[in-house]
Structure 1
C-alpha cells in the first residue's frame, strides 16, 4: 500500500504539471491522450486494437480516448479500405498542425527530464523496468502466498504415527477419496488396518498444525523387484490446505526412504488431482510406464530416483 500510495502521489504531481505544460505551450491536447497521439503522429493509420497493444492499455481505455480525441477534432475515424469490418484512426488536419507545433514542447520537456535524471542517484526508468520485469515473472500475490506458506509451515510438525491417530488417518483419506472417486477394497484394507502397514515394514507420518492432526501420509513397503517403497495415502484437511503441509509430508517420506537406503520411490495417482500431481513433480517424481494397479482410479504412475540424481542429498 505504501509503494502504491507513493507512486500515485508521484503520478499526480507529474500529471498536474503536465496539464499546465500543455496550457503553457498552447497545445490543445489532454495529457492522457498523448500515447495515442504520439503513435498516430508517426503517420500510419491504426486500429484501436493495434493502438491498445502498442501503448499497453486496455481496448476499452483506448476506445474512450479515441472518442474524446475525435470529438475534439484531433483524429479521424474511418473504415479500413482493406477490411470494411474494421475501423482505423489517424490524425486530422488539426492533429497534424498540433504535431508540428508540439516539437518545441518535446525538446524542452526532454531537456528538463534529462536534467532531472542527472540530479538523481537512481535511474527511475531502470527501476520501473526492473519492477515490471520481476512482477511479470512472479506476481506480488504469488510472492505473498509463498511467504504465507513459509510462515504457516513453521507451525507444522511431522511426527510418526501412533494409535491415537488411527481414526484421523482413515477420516482424512476417506474425505478426499469420496470427494473425487469411490472407496475401493484396497483403500479399506489400508485405512482400517494401519498397524499392518507398520508391521509390514512401512511407515505413516502425521502432520500437526498447532498440535492438531491435519495431514497424513504413508510409506508402504512393496513386494516388488523394481521398487522398495510406495508413497501412498497422502491426505490434508481442507481447513489446513495452503500451508505447505503436503510438501512437508512428501519430504518426510522421501527423506525416510533415503535414510533406509532405498534407490527408488513409487506412487500412483490420478491426473484429475492437479495440485497433487504438481506437488509430486516438485518433489522430483517423474511419470513411468503404466503398471498393474489395485485401484480403479489410478491412471498415472510415477517414480523418484533417490540415488545418483539432483534430488539425492
Structure 2
C-alpha cells in the first residue's frame, strides 16, 4: 500500500487492477467452497445464458458490455468444459446460438445458494465502509462515458502546455518563420499559388501596410504557429495564413491563435471575420466550427484550392 500512497492517483489503473486481481483470486476460492466448477471470468457469459434463452455471441457481448472477441474466447472455453454448447441457427446456417448444456443447467441450480451468500457478504462489507464502492464505480463509469480518461489527460496536457505559449505581434525577424510555417502545410496538401508567394515573401507590403495584422505563436520562445488578419471592405477581415508546425500539433495552438485573432479583430473594429479553406482539411474545418465560424459563399477567391468559405459576425 505504501507504493500507491506514494504514487497517488497516477496509479489509479494499477490499483484498480490489483483490486480486481485480489477479488478474482478470492472469487476462485468461493467457487471451490461451493464446489462449483466455474471459472470466475466466465460468470458474465454464464449469467447471460442462465435464463434459459439461447443467444448469439453478439447478443451476449451487447448484454454484458464485453467485446465480441472476448465473449467468443470465453464461449470456446465454456464449450470445451462442457458447460455451454453451440446450437445451429435455423434461419442462418452461418451462425450459431449459444446455450447451456445439461451440465451448465445443473451448475445454475447449485449456484443459487452461492449467489445468496455472496450477495449478503458483499452487502455486509459495503456497510462497513465509509464510501460505497459500488456507487463510486457507477459514478466513474458514467463520468468516463461522458468524457474518457484519455481525453481528460489530453485536455490537462494542453492546459499545461498552453502556459508555455505566447501569441505575439509579427516582427521583421519573424518573416522567415511566417513563410516557412505556411509553405510547410500548403505544399503538404496543395500547390503554392501566386497569391501565396506575394503574401509570404512580402508580408509587410501585402498584409501589414494594407491595415492587416500578423500574429506569431511562440512555444518556449520558438515560432511554431502563425495567422494573419487581412483587411477587406466593409469592416470585414479575412482570417488567413494560419499554420502550425507539425512538431507542435496537439497543443491547442491553432485554437489559441484563432482566439487571439478574434480578440485582435474586435480591438481594431472588425465587424466580420471571413476565411477560405478546403474541406479535405478536416481538423482545420472542425477548428473553425469550434471557434464559431459558419459556412457562407459568394465572394470570389484568388485560390484554386478554396472550396469552402466561412464567416463569423463579431
The two structures have a TM-score, normalised by structure 1, of 0.92
Deviation, structure 1 residue 172:
1.5
Cα distance in structure 2, aligned partners of 1:167 and 1:98: 75
Question: Aligned with 1:68: secondary structure?
Answer: helix
Partners of 1:65 and 1:244 in 2: how far apart? 43
What is the CA-CA distance between 1:67 and the residue it aligns to? 2.2
Structure 2 CA distance for aligned equivalents of residues 31 and 90 of structure 1: 18
The superposition leaves residues 37-96 of structure 1 with CA deviations (integer Å, 9 ceiling, x where unpaired) of: 111110101112211221122222222222222222222222122322211121222222
* Match of residue 10 from structure 1: 19
Alignment partner of 1:126 is 2:135: yes
* Secondary structure of 1:73 counterpart: coil
2:218 matched to 1:198?
Answer: no
Distance 1:68 1:215, change over 3 A: closer
Partner of 2:102: 93
1:66 and 1:239 map into 2 onto residues whose CA distance is: 46
Instruction: Identify which of 54, 69, 75 aligns with 1:45.
Output: 54
| Alignment size in residue pairs | 304
1:68–1:214: structure 2 CA closer, same or farther, 3 Å change rule?
Answer: closer
More displaced 10-residue stretch of structure 1: 238-247 or 264-273: 238-247
| C-alpha deviation, 1:228, in angstroms | 2.0
Give the secondary-structure state (helix, strand or coil) at the position aligned to 1:201: coil
Is 1:217 the equivalent of 2:206? no
Unaligned runs of 5+ in 1: 307-313
User: Which string of whole-angstrom CA distances, capped at 9 and with x for unpartnered residues, describes residues 151-186 of structure 1?
Assistant: 112111111112111222222111211111111111
CA distance in 2, matches of 1:60, 1:198: 60
Q: Using structure 2 for the length normalisation, give the TM-score.
A: 0.92
Partner of 2:3: none
Distance 1:116 1:203 in 2: 66
- Asked if 1:293 corresponds to 2:301, the answer is yes
* Counterpart-to-counterpart distance in 1, 2:221 and 2:78: 64
Q: Which residue of 1 aligns with 2:111?
A: 102
* Equivalent residue number for residue 197 of structure 2: 188
Shift of 1:99: 1.4
Instruction: Say if 2:286 is the partner of 1:278.
Output: yes
CA distance in 2, matches of 1:162, 1:8: 54
SS at match of 2:178: helix
Give the counterpart of 1:265 among 255, 268, 273.
273
Q: What is the CA–CA distance in structure 1 between the aligned matches of 2:118 and 2:87, rounded to whole Å?
A: 33
* Equivalent of residue 66 in structure 2, options 54, 57, 76: 57
What is the CA–CA distance in structure 1 between the aligned matches of 2:270 and 2:126, rounded to whole Å?
Answer: 61
Contact between 1:290 and 1:300, CA under 8 Å: does it hold in 2?
Answer: no
TM-fit CA distance, 1:117? 1.4
Q: Pick one of 177, 180, 184 that aligns with 1:168.
A: 177
Please, what is the CA RMSD of the aligned residues? Answer: 1.6
Deviation above 6 Å: which 4+ runs of structure 1? Answer: none
